[in-house]
Amino acid sequence: MRIIAGEKRGHGIQAPKGETTRPTSDRVREAAFNLIGPVDGAKTLDLFAGSGAMGLEALSRGAASCVFVENDRGACRTIDANLEKLKLRGRLVPHDAIRFLGAESGTYDLILCDPPYDYAAVDRLAAHFARVLAPDGLLVYESQASFEPEFPNLNLRTSRRYGSARLTLWER
């Protein structure tokens, strides 16, 4: 895996060992950021961060900050290692995504959410998105290609399939 564009373009990044984390492929990350557009100065949240690839990509492309939320210890070590290697500044929160969102009082310009494809609590996540997404913010939700999430308090921008993955973008 590597950073696709921006200040750290071409730099390799690590993925957590084992089979519990499914890193977003370079191809899907590139497609996501083509759909997102410029992220200069964005306050970013990477939920279910895994390797941190999506948030690292945002930081490389000029995002002002990124909070990485991940509850797997091995994945947290990988995110720390990637941040250190790339010399990027981000804040790692080793916590469950729903608990983090429930306690969060701030808003984010860009939310990157890539839960496990079999994640059963999508509706519990959805309850928080409209509150933590900034007024002109964008939510990028990665899911299995056959799953089309519905977030009633947000406006659908687009939904696209990339092999076995689907990227769905929502606005407030």
Q: 144-158: per-residue pLDDT in tens?
A: 999 999 998 999 999
126-142 mean pLDDT: 96
Q: 51-91: per-residue pLDDT in tens?
A: 999 999 999 999 999 999 999 999 999 999 999 999 999 99
Q: What Å distances lie between residue 37 and 33, 147, 169, CA to CA?
A: 6, 24, 12
Return the domain boundaries, the chain: 26-171
Centroid of chain to Cα 21: 13
Low-confidence winner among 17-26, 94-103, 122-131, 132-141 (lowest mean pLDDT): 17-26
Centroid of chain to Cα 89: 16
**What is the pLDDT at residue 18?**
65
**What is the pLDDT at residue 67?**
98
Classified as helix, coil or strand, 73 is: helix
Q: pTM of the prediction?
A: 0.95
Superfamily for the 26-171 domain:
Vaccinia Virus protein VP39 (3.40.50.150)
